[in-house]
Structure 1
Amino acid sequence: MTDFQAALCFNGIVTVNDSHPEEEERKSGDPPTQENQQDAQSGPRSGMARSRSLGSLVGGLGASLLGAMVRKPFQSDEKRAGFLEAMWLKEAQRLAGKLGELKGAAMKLGQMLSLHEHILPPEAAKILSQLQKAAPPIPFKTIREVMEAELGDGMELIDGIESEPFASASIGQVHKGRLKDGTEVVFKVQYPGVDRAVRQDIKQLRWMAGPMVNFMTGGSAGPIFDELEEVMLQELDYRQELQNLQDMQELLNDDPGRVVPRGFSELSTTRVLTMELAHGLSFDEALAPDIDQTLRDRWAQAFARTFAQGVFAHRFLHADPNAGNFAFREDGSLVLYDFGCMKKVPFNISRGYGNLLRAIFSGQDEIIPEILKEVGIHRADGRPIEVSLLKPHADIVRQVFGEDGFVFGEDKELYDRIFELSRQQWFDSLGIRFPREILFIHRTLAGYFGNFSRLKARGPWRTILLEALAEADRDDGIQRETVSGLQSSAQ
């Protein structure tokens, strides 16, 4: 984020905080009730309490960024670096505590930030990474009450449930258990009131961040928040997640490198999901010094195949790269746990991004603007984006997806180039329009890159992408446009 962006962010926050969220809530027809004032120990807070907490968090971060901007002319580079590190450490501690307590969409955003540890001081990244593993748990008594209300007579199939949570996430808590036939399972149980909290968070985010997002995207805030709302509300339906799990099982049935646990429809409802316990190492355990690097490379390549096939071949993307959603086996296979955030990729975007990669890999940057325009990425007035703006990004793609294999996490100069490029092009990028469907595709790719960096992974990344494109060509039975044909049409 540039200093100018920080100032804009802060100005937007001041405007927002001059209003009264409780008045806005009353206007919407949702007056504060005892339910939405519940204690955080029994579920996520909502209503006025969430509004105040979110406003306080965003306002505090904006004030810190403004402070950094004001101090810049009076500090040496060394002192400025020290100040920024201390600032991010303080903000990370505050964010991790508050977002974990709030749960819902607020915690989900914190998890998204934590995936990009290469842009944060190590201490701050470590603190935020806690959001990937656990939120403050709610009492087991509350969890059991939800299960009994949802499963009814199905509880008779359960032999036991561990009272200590196996994991605590943004919208639900996970407990290990055992069925009476001896099957080890996990129960994913939705927090009471979290559906209301998620809707409230999204409403507040529209209200607080909407003007700034509109300014930066030329009026695209509505579609962006619509996409965020649609995906997050889908995550609240555990029956839909069960269907997603079963669809992924079918897609990956012949792939021993990726494991999808079995789901139990007779013990699953909208608010409770039961699936087989699939054992594996946690992400932190996968990073232990005694783990061979070749094993970490295999796990990362399984990540990459999941993304590439999800976008191009299956057009059904596992769109939540939070490290807590995976387990890692010593045979090199990857266990996929969470299927709440799945994204169906529209055909035109899948095909367009395939053409984009082929153009980049063949060095034909001059046709990239037209390819992007066909996908729906262009200037607000419909003009294609200038080649001069896109070529530096194509160069970075060619470096990362080079034929020799790129090692993530070792090239700090690359990250510096990316951030410097963002700083230089910030103003020229304002007003670029894009389809809402790419929001979670890009978020997923960025999250996987963060995971790759932690794994220090090397792999044949270009080959993995091209194999997925070839699989898409075979499965669709279509003759894709050649790059040379696109070049002719662009002239």
Structure 2
Amino acid sequence: MKEQSKIPTSKIERAGRFVSTGFKVGTNYLKHYTRKLVDPEIDKEDLHQENAEDIYETLSNLKGSALKVAQMLSMDRGMLPKAYSERFAMSQYSAPPLSGPLVINTFIKTLGKTPAQLFDKFEISAANAASIGQVHHAWKDGKKLAIKIQYPGVANSVRTDLRIVKPFAMRLVGMSKVDMDKYFDEIETRLLEETDYTLEFRRSVEVSDLCAYIPNLVFPKYYPELSSEKIITMDWLEGKHLKEFLEDRPSQEVRNKIGQALWDFYQFQVHQLKKVHADPHPGNFLMRNDGTVGVFDFGCIKEIPEDFYVNYFKLTEPEILKNDEERKQIYLNLEMIHPGDTPKEVAFFSQLFQKMIDLTTLPFTKKTFDFGNDAYFEEIYSYMEYISNLKEIRDSKNARGSRHSLYINRTYFGLYSLLNDLKANIITDKNRILDLTGG
């Protein structure tokens, strides 16, 4: 893959790239409808493919929060046409890397030395590259290390990029402006944290230590003396990303072990730590044939407010949901309905969201759950598409759902997606974490 020797960092230059991409997308639409006049049977798949290519090319060269939003959208199956999902998924670990001189310059600026002065061996070509940074191999004192380096200008461009990318996101997912405004504030907060490598380093060490007891999880050791505000140095973890791992046709037993480890990891964080690794895309996990899984990249951590936590998980308790008044209060607390809603709106949105809640919380109500059941996921994605196309949702003047729900829902959908790909059949009994912790 061709390396980048420069990343656009000025507001004008970055905005200009988006504008030129907008013209390309407009041209693609014009070409599509011209073809359709000649052949009315032509569908939109070619149009989606061309637009996905053009938008991804721009985002992957800009890096940063714009590319991160594309990565987030690729995780939400059913939200985007397939062409976009597949292309944007490349941002998880296959974006164009930075050139060697830019890498060396980052070391000199933040650690005062070149990689050659700090390591016994350093590979100047990136092992993989994503939205916020890229990773290099290095060796020191006989240890193989992973060196994560942040792209220049990423932290300073978050707010500008989000304002520019918002119209693209709104058009792609069909979300109303009121929804997008509310949730983009939350996205901005998380992305600013992701560009703070000092914070990520501290969280990585803390969460890794607290979760180290969970069976079949492996975490790297982190090295403060070789890290800075733009660089994180950790042990290199062996393993394969999900797609490559599944190509080896692992046994059901191995897939179940990895699936159980991931489920336990997330349940422990949510219920015990009240904060969670909120970026569960395949690029952040390395899977092994012995049933263990390596976990890294703690840049995106969502801390869960106590009042939100209490109300959110009340929705998994069937007895509570049988009480109409208590259920209505939970919906109000979670901003799924609003005090100004008419009785008709309250009834409509309550019924609409209750079915979604019943579907998505089904694993929590079982002692074991087969995430290989594709029919279950097809029902979820079909219902999500139905909701997104409802006129009442599109025309609503109020965003439906707490801002905190954005990353918690994203975390669980990302986890469910991983478990579905693994076809994992696991223990989901709510007492399992208590058993593991001795609580």
Cα distance in 2 between the residues matched to 1:380 and 1:474: 42
Cα distance in 1 between the residues matched to 2:371 and 2:31: 36
**Which string of whole-angstrom CA distances, capped at 9 and with x for unpartnered residues, describes residues 220-257 of structure 1?**
65543322222111111111111011111221121232
Which region of structure 1 is more displaced relative to structure 2, 118-127 or 246-255? 118-127
Cα distance in 2 between the residues matched to 1:215 and 1:127: 21
Cα distance in 2 between the residues matched to 1:208 and 1:91: 11
Q: 1:109 aligns with which of 48, 69, 90?
A: 69
**Which string of whole-angstrom CA distances, capped at 9 and with x for unpartnered residues, describes residues 5-57 of structure 1?**
xxxxxxxxxxxxxxxxxxxxxxxxxxxxxxxxxx9522344422321333454
Cα distance in 2 between the residues matched to 1:228 and 1:356: 24
1:165 is matched with 126
The change in CA–CA distance for 1:449 and 1:45 in structure 2 (over 3 A counts) is farther
Secondary structure of 2:146's aligned partner: strand
Cα distance in 1 between the residues matched to 2:27 and 2:217: 44
Cα distance in 1 between the residues matched to 2:415 and 2:32: 30
Q: 1:136 aligns with which of 96, 101, 104?
A: 96
Q: 2:137 aligns with which of 172, 176, 179?
A: 176
Cα distance in 2 between the residues matched to 1:211 and 1:122: 15
Contact between 1:165 and 1:174, CA under 8 Å: does it hold in 2? yes
Aligned-residue offset at 1:70: 12
Aligned counterparts, 1:294-305, within 5 A: 294-305=253-264
Secondary structure of 1:134's aligned partner: coil
Aligned-residue offset at 1:349: 1.3
The change in CA–CA distance for 1:446 and 1:385 in structure 2 (over 3 A counts) is farther
Cα distance in 2 between the residues matched to 1:119 and 1:224: 16
Q: 2:412 aligns with which of 409, 421, 445?
A: 445
Aligned-residue offset at 1:157: 4.1
Cα distance in 2 between the residues matched to 1:447 and 1:66: 35
Instruction: Letter of the 1:51 partner, please give it.
Output: A
Cα distance in 1 between the residues matched to 2:384 and 2:179: 24
2:176 is matched with 216
Cα distance in 2 between the residues matched to 1:124 and 1:212: 9
Aligned-residue offset at 1:114: 1.8
Q: 1:249 aligns with which of 200, 208, 220?
A: 208
The change in CA–CA distance for 1:454 and 1:116 in structure 2 (over 3 A counts) is farther
Q: Aligned pair 1:47/2:11, yes or no? A: yes
Which region of structure 1 is more displaced relative to structure 2, 203-212 or 332-341? 203-212
Contact between 1:173 and 1:190, CA under 8 Å: does it hold in 2? yes
Aligned-residue offset at 1:355: 1.4
The change in CA–CA distance for 1:335 and 1:416 in structure 2 (over 3 A counts) is same
Q: 2:313 aligns with which of 354, 362, 366?
A: 354
Cα distance in 2 between the residues matched to 1:244 and 1:428: 40
Contact between 1:47 and 1:197, CA under 8 Å: does it hold in 2? yes
1:410 is matched with 374
Aligned-residue offset at 1:122: 5.5
Q: 2:252 aligns with which of 277, 289, 293?
A: 293
Instruction: Letter of the 1:163 partner, please give it.
Output: I
TM-score, normalised to structure 1, is 0.75
1:364 is matched with 322
Cα distance in 1 between the residues matched to 2:208 and 2:380: 37
TM-score, normalised to structure 2, is 0.83
Contact between 1:263 and 1:274, CA under 8 Å: does it hold in 2? yes
1:337 is matched with 296
Cα distance in 2 between the residues matched to 1:119 and 1:377: 20
Aligned-residue offset at 1:187: 0.9
Q: Aligned pair 1:145/2:105, yes or no? A: yes
Cα distance in 1 between the residues matched to 2:181 and 2:371: 38
Contact between 1:88 and 1:124, CA under 8 Å: does it hold in 2? yes
CA RMSD of aligned residues (A): 3.8
Contact between 1:356 and 1:372, CA under 8 Å: does it hold in 2? no
Percent of matched pairs sharing the same residue: 27
Contact between 2:80 and 2:172, CA under 8 Å: does it hold in 1? no
Cα distance in 1 between the residues matched to 2:285 and 2:361: 28
Instruction: Letter of the 1:431 partner, please give it.
Output: N
Cα distance in 2 between the residues matched to 1:139 and 1:279: 25
Contact between 2:147 and 2:233, CA under 8 Å: does it hold in 1? yes
Cα distance in 1 between the residues matched to 2:381 and 2:262: 21
Secondary structure of 2:145's aligned partner: strand
Contact between 2:332 and 2:339, CA under 8 Å: does it hold in 1? no
Secondary structure of 2:389's aligned partner: helix
Contact between 1:239 and 1:270, CA under 8 Å: does it hold in 2? yes
1:310 is matched with 269
Q: Aligned pair 1:394/2:357, yes or no? A: yes
Instruction: Letter of the 1:169 partner, please give it.
Output: A
Instruction: Letter of the 1:364 partner, please give it.
Output: K
Secondary structure of 1:50's aligned partner: helix
Aligned-residue offset at 1:288: 0.8
Instruction: Letter of the 1:298 partner, please give it.
Output: K
Cα distance in 2 between the residues matched to 1:66 and 1:311: 48
**Which string of whole-angstrom CA distances, capped at 9 and with x for unpartnered residues, describes residues 345-391 of structure 1?**
111111222211113x7762734332232344432627894332233
Cα distance in 1 between the residues matched to 2:406 and 2:30: 28
1:230 is matched with 189
Q: Give the 4+ runs in structure 1 shifted more than 6 A.
A: 62-72, 207-215, 471-475
Cα distance in 2 between the residues matched to 1:192 and 1:445: 31
The change in CA–CA distance for 1:395 and 1:194 in structure 2 (over 3 A counts) is closer
Contact between 2:302 and 2:407, CA under 8 Å: does it hold in 1? yes
The change in CA–CA distance for 1:295 and 1:132 in structure 2 (over 3 A counts) is same
Unaligned runs of 5+ in 1: 1-38, 476-491
Aligned-residue offset at 1:437: 2.3
Aligned-residue offset at 1:300: 2.7
Cα distance in 2 between the residues matched to 1:446 and 1:67: 36
Q: Aligned pair 1:282/2:245, yes or no? A: no
The change in CA–CA distance for 1:295 and 1:267 in structure 2 (over 3 A counts) is same
